[in-house]
Amino acid sequence: MAVSTAEATTTSAEGDSPLLRIEGLHVRFGRQTVLRDIHLNIRRGETVAILGESGCGKTVLLKTIVGLQRPTRGRVLFDGRNLLELPAAELARQRTRFGFVFQQAALFDSMTIGENIAFPLRQHTAMSREQIAEVVLRRLAEVGLPESVLTKKPGELSGGMRKRVGLARALALEPEVMLYDEPTTGLDPIMSDVINELMLRTRAAHSVTGIIVTHDMRTAVKVADRVVMLYPLSRLEVGEGQILYDGPPRAIEEAADIRVIQFVRGEAGERLMEMRRLQNAQGEAGHG
Amino acid sequence: MSSGTQVGKDGLPGAPGSLVNDLAQWVADVGDRTMEWLVALGSLSIFAGRMFRWLLSKRPQRETILWNFYHIGVLSLPVVAMTGMFIGMVLAVQSYAQFKMLNLETRLGAVINMSVVRELGPVLAATMLAGRVGSAMAAELGTMRVTEQIDALTVMGADPIHYLVVPRFLACLFLIPALTLMADFMGVMGGYFYSIHILNIDAYYYLQNSAEYVGLFDLGAGTAKTLFFGASIAVIACHHGFHCEPGAEGVGRAATYAFVHSFVAILLLDLVLGIILEGIYGMLWSTAPRLV
């Protein structure tokens, strides 16, 4: 795994204790269990891609990490502390150490792009209006957007531009951890590559720890230095762990588990057989 | 229960379709519905509690207050004023024939103004607020929930209840009395205009009757009630928005229920507060002239 000198220094200074420690995490919605007994450690400076098909609980895991979703059991320790046990003011302060890029960008509709990027700065800093404007312009330039978008509303921008504004907003407070929820979903291949490049640059410029939830193999291979693959609980055998693969992205294609290989190659496999069985059953019921 | 009793589907006693089974199913349905209501009421209470905690612990930001005061108060004025004026006129139209038969048409002043100031002004202003603002708040917050904007606020360290709900609550609470006074004023003017200029009732006696029966207590009581209406509209509408289900259908349902539940709350509160205020009036002015 390629680790820069700066990162290596930080890691040794902090010891080997992970920045994020996920212990025995269970998340259940009503009767449906989405995450079961997840254990995961993420080190400072590492970029981890969480892969998996739709419905396997990737986004739920991301939201649980930042405390948007309360786990049914287990805990997430950030820098040794359980966020959900902190008092409200301290929790709000700790959350500013995270930057979250949402799947649909989640920009505030009622605000202009400039106000969106300035929002975290206005909330958490005592910066003057001019200083905020300066930071906003810097972040905007960082994600490659022109100044002319500042006065526009989110609805006037394309999906790719909105994602980039979301990235600029997440970077406003210079967080230590960047969380990306499906950063390239719904974008054309060119724009997907732009976003991948921006994630790499963000890592290089700010030395952030990154967690990328995606089902895009190209993103995982290009941006991440570690890949964790989750599998839907409903398809697992009793007693099987939900994490099917945890290792470097290049080695995923040689994984021993056929389900990992099928995902990497985009092969439907048994899903097609299930579909045919269902169609046959429906056909027989219709004739009967 | 005898040992011969059959157990139907769902583990309920009795053969499927039997009277016992139907009855048991009905009881189970009523139980489910009751549980749903209790859970919803509990959720609403927790939501209101969190809102009050933020209200008392941290002042909302100036720009969120101004924006909400403008959108909730100022923009509601025309529709509330128009409704008030028409209600005053309609009351004159509806009551005139009966009062004329008894040669008591000058009493219309007291009847119209009392109805407007004590009941119709406050309730109509609150209903208009629930319709125009409550539904819009639920739809706006619901859309924010569905598009993860509320989550975005949270991860940026801004509590969504403090940022989104408290300013809306304050705007509803402080501006509904002002809207009610506008509805009252326009209702009184509408009733006066129709009675005096269209129905040719004597203006002197019309006004004298009004002054005799309608006092400051009525105006104050009617306006005071609206504080409770405004508070309930804000809490109910914001709660529906925050707990909106995904999709366009979820947002639509949140907006509809925000209005329906606010309206029911307004009517319930109106009854309870009406009884309480009537008791207070009776204690303070037991010999004052009464319409009934």
DSSP string covering A68-122, please?
SS--SEEEEEETTEEGGGS-HHHHHHHHTTEEEE-TT----TTS-HHHHHHHHHH
Residue A116 is assigned to a structural domain of this protein: yes
Domain with A168 in it: 108-174
Give the chain B residue nearest A178 (alpha carbons): B155
Residue A194 lies in a domain: yes
- Whether A86 is covered by a domain: the verdict is yes
A contacts of B156 (beta carbons < 8 Å): 95-96, 119-120, 123, 169
* Pair B220, B80 in one domain: yes
Does the pLDDT of residue B110 top 60, yes or no?
A: yes
- Same domain, residue pair A88 and A114: no
- Verify that A142 and A241 share a domain, yes or no: no
Same domain, A49 and A86: yes
Does the beta carbon of A153 lie under 8 angstroms from any beta carbon of chain B? no
Q: Is A160 found in the same domain as A179?
A: no
Domain count, chain A: 2
| Residue B11 falls inside a structural domain | no
Helix/strand/coil percentages in chain B, nearest 5: 85, 0, 15
Of A221, A226, A120, A105, which Cα lies nearest the Cα of A155?
Answer: A105
Confidence of residue A128 (pLDDT cuts 50, 70, 90): very high
* Residue B6 forms part of a structural domain: no
Q: For A83-87, B171-175, B265-269, which range has the lowest pLDDT when averaged over its residues?
A: A83-87
CB proximity B66 to A under 8 Å: no
Same domain? B32 vs B117:
no
Residues B119 and B232 in one domain: yes
More confident residue, A281 or A102: A102
**B89 & B192 share domain:** yes
Residue A4 pLDDT greater than 60, yes or no: no
Nearest to B154 among A68, A93, A108 (CB): A68
A84 touches chain B (CB under 8 A): no
Q: Is there a single domain that holds both residue A87 and residue A183?
A: yes
Same domain, A189 and A119: no
pLDDT band at A103 (very low <50, low <70, confident <90, very high): very high
Cα separation, A156 vs A165, whole angstroms: 12
Contact state of B148 with A102 under an 8 Å Cβ cutoff: yes
Which of the two residues, A277 and B250, has the higher pLDDT score?
Answer: B250
Chain B nearest CA to A104, separation (Å) = 7
Q: What is the pLDDT confidence band of residue A16, given thresholds at 50, 70 and 90?
A: low
Residues from chain A that touch B148, judged by Cβ atoms under 8 A, are: 102-104, 106
Domain check: are B47 and B73 in the same one? Answer: no
Q: Residue A183 belongs to a domain with what CATH number? A: 3.40.50.300
Window from A217-221, A266-270, B63-67 with minimum mean pLDDT: A266-270
Residue B157 falls inside a structural domain? yes
In the prediction, which pLDDT does B290 show? 58
Segments forming the whole domain that contains residue B275: 61-284
Please state whether beta strands A209-214 and A47-51 pair in parallel, antiparallel, or not at all (unpaired).
parallel
Question: Which of B9, B41, B57 is at the close of a domain?
Answer: B57
Q: Which of A79-88, A262-271, B138-147 has the lowest mean pLDDT?
A: A262-271
B41 with B65, same domain: the answer is no
Is B275 in the same domain as B179? yes
Q: Is residue A102 part of a domain?
A: no
The closest CB to that of B157, out of A93, A106, A109, belongs to: A93
Diameter over CA atoms, chain B? 83
The reply to whether B130 falls in a domain is yes
Residue B53 and residue B124 in one domain: no
**Do residues B164 and B216 share a domain?**
yes
Q: Are residues A84 and A117 in the same domain?
A: no
Residues B278 and B181 in one domain: yes
Instruction: Note the pTM of the prediction, 2 decimals.
Output: 0.83
Instruction: Kindly state whether residues B26 and B83 are assigned to the same domain.
Output: no
Q: Would you tell me which residues 162-191 of chain A have a C-beta closer than 8 angstroms to some C-beta of chain B?
A: 169
Closest partner CB to B148 (pick from A98, A106, A169): A106
Q: Which of A132-136, B10-14, B131-135 has the lowest mean pLDDT?
A: B10-14
Beta-carbon neighbour count of residue B276 at 10 Å?
A: 12
Assign B87 a pLDDT band (cuts: 50, 70, 90).
very high
Is B149 close to A106, i.e. CB distance below 8 A?
Answer: yes
B218: Cβ–Cβ under 8 A, 6 or more apart, which residues? B114, B117, B118
Give the C-alpha distances (Å, rounded to integers) separating A91 from A98, B56, B291: 11, 19, 59
Residues A195, A220, single domain; the answer is yes
How many domains is chain B partitioned into structurally? 2
Considering the domain architecture, whether residues B158 and B28 belong to the same structural domain is answered as no
Encode pLDDT of B185-224 as tens digits.
999 999 999 999 998 888 898 898 888 888 888 899 999 9
* For range A49-61, the mean pLDDT: 92
* CA A96 from centre of chain: 16
What number is the ipTM of this complex? 0.85
Average pLDDT over chain A, rounded to whole?
A: 87
Please say if the pLDDT value at position A8 is more than 50.
no
What is the spatial order of strands in the sheet that A209-214 belongs to?
A: A98-101, A177-181, A209-214, A47-51, A226-230, A243-247
Q: Residue A103 falls within a domain, yes or no?
A: no
Residue A277: inside a domain, yes or no?
yes
Same domain, A193 and A75: yes
- B231, B237, B225: which is closest to B261 by C-alpha? B237
Q: Which of A121, A123, A165, A178 to mutate to test the interface with B (most CBs of B within 10 A)?
A: A123
Alpha-carbon gap, residue A3 to A248, rounded angstroms: 13
